[in-house]
Amino acid sequence: MGGDRAAARHDPASRLQEVRNYSRSTNRGEHENRSIDKASQLTEEIFRLIASGDDTAVQAHLHPQVREQLTPQRIGDAWRNALTECGSLEGFTNTHVELHDGTVLSEDEDIIGTVIGATRLMCEAGELVGRVALDETDQVVGLLIVPQNHGKLPF
């Protein structure tokens, strides 16, 4: 019987259900209002801020350790590179929240830990994929802007 429990802990589907059950059954204090909807909105907001060139607001959303890597210059260069491929941002489609393994979370689930906000960036002349890694306090700990035909991504 003990072996079954140990095996279940290593089964990704069982672990995912365990995390979902935990998030529904515990009082998580300051994180209790964290929702899929909020993470989705934040994902789109980050890309709106990048597109508008509001470096100060973008930097305010970044985790302090990430600010060292994702400088305004670096984010701006990546965005300008994307603009040359697809034109300016016009909107979003298929915005959702995933776990690190790609499991899409449903709208009614509470979330704990780091999650990925993913969206399609609809631009004048094409689409890009935007991904934002959000930690347990909804600070950005990773940011990707890639073409639709991308290969394996780090998150």
Q: What is the pLDDT of residues 42-78, one digit of tens each?
A: 999 999 999 999 999 999 999 999 999 999 999 999 9
pLDDT at 4: 41
Handedness of CA 106, 36, 22, 99 (dihedral sign): positive
Q: How confident is the model at residue 147 (pLDDT cuts 50, 70, 90)?
A: very high
pTM score of the predicted model: 0.78
pLDDT of 28 above 80: no
Q: Where are the domains of the chain?
A: 29-147
Question: Contact, 132 vs 42, CB < 8 A?
Answer: yes
3-state helix, strand, coil in the chain (%, to 5): 45, 25, 30
- DSSP reduced 3-state for 149: coil
Rounded Cα distance between 126 and 68, Å, is: 31
pLDDT given for residue 31 in this prediction:
45
pLDDT (tens digit per residue) in 80-91? 998 898 999 999
The predicted-structure confidence for 120-144, as pLDDT tens digits, reads as follows 999 999 999 999 999 999 999 999 9
Torsion, CA 73, CA 151, CA 110, CA 34, rounded to 10:
0
So what CATH class is 29-147?
Answer: alpha beta
